[in-house]
């Protein structure tokens, strides 16, 4: 059953503001039998972003206790941990909101992307200011695409609405050099690929460079590898091999007990 808890207690009317304020940050995960892949990355993301946005330290063990309470008795969930505040007086006091919902199965359908000039504020933070990326994603769908991929102020491909982007060049996985959110699934995959001896590099990729690659894929907490079939009017090669590579690397990573 979906749950929303603030500081370990069910969210009541008096705390509704904590679920509405747009100044905060979060991490999203798929939980199975009380475990999640990349737990250390999730906790580090929450702690680092709390220092940046609130100038405060986050008790990550407290976060884990709230998580365990929220997922108790459920075998498969999507979980979002949100750090917000109801007071903007200094020093700010961060509060922990945990939301659970049904698991999100991976969708294998390839996506057609529309490139747009856009860059999120504080791209290194998974923050609650999602108006721009949702707007750009919606505009792409209205124009007949499935989603948007962002081009930064320097003309480099960076990320998509809720995805990190990767490319395959021969046997090498290429990550775009740009200011992007370091997605947890991407970080987990990078570690796994290193252990497997798969070559990786990070370099600038511009829309005009897309013809050079053997595949383009997207990755996030719900889908470790999803093919991109086209960007704007450019049809891309099938991404089956790249999707399989990222998915197989991800599957080698053990589940961490929350």
Q: Which CATH architecture has domain 111-253?
A: Alpha-Beta Barrel (3.20)
Q: Give the per-residue pLDDT at 14.
A: 46
pLDDT at 13 over 60: no
Q: Provide the residue ranges of all domains of the chain, joining segments of one domain with +.
A: 3-101, 111-253
pLDDT single digits (tens) 160-188 = 999 999 999 999 999 999 999 999 999 99
CATH class in words for 3-101: alpha beta
pLDDT single digits (tens) 123-154 = 999 999 999 999 999 999 999 999 999 999 99
Determine how β-strand 215-219 pairs with β-strand 226-231: antiparallel
Angle value at C-alpha 143, between 224 and 232, nearest 5 degrees: 60
Tell me the average pLDDT of the chain.
93
* 3-101 and 111-253 have identical folds: no
pLDDT single digits (tens) 49-107 = 999 999 999 999 999 999 999 999 999 999 999 999 888 888 888 999 999 999 988 88
pLDDT at 18 over 70: no
d(CA 242, CA 44): 28
Q: Percent of the chain scored above 90 by pLDDT?
A: 86
Q: Give the per-residue pLDDT at 105.
A: 84
């Amino acid at each position: 059953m979906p749950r929303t808890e603030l500081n370990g207690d069910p969210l009541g009317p008096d705390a509704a503001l904590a679920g509405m304020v747009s100044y905060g940050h979060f991490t999203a995960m798929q939980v199975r039998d009380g475990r999640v892949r990349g737990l250390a990355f999730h906790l580090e993301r929450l702690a680092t972003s709390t220092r940046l946005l609130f100038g405060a330290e986050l008790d990550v063990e407290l976060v884990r206790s709230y998580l365990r309470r929220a997922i108790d008795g459920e075998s498969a969930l999507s979980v979002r941990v949100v750090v917000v505040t109801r007071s903007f007086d200094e020093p700010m006091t961060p509060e922990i909101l945990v939301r659970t919902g049904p698991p999100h199965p991976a969708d294998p359908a390839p996506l057609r992307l529309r490139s747009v000039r856009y860059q999120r504020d504080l791209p290194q933070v998974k923050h609650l200011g999602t108006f721009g990326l949702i707007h750009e994603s919606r505009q792409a769908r209205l124009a007949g695409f499935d989603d948007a991929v962002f081009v930064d102020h320097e003309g480099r491909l960076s990320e998509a609405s809720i995805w990190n982007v990767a490319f395959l060049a021969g046997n090498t996985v290429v990550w775009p050099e740009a200011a992007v959110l370091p997605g947890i699934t991407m970080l987990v995959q990078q570690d796994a690929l290193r252990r497997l001896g798969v070559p990786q590099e990070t370099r600038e990729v511009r829309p005009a460079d897309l013809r050079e690659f053997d595949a383009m894929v997207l990755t996030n907490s719900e889908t470790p590898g999803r093919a991109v079939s086209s960007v704007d009017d450019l049809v891309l090669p099938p991404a089956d091999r790249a999707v399989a590579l990222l998915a197989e690397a991800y599957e080698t990573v053990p589940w961490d007990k929350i």
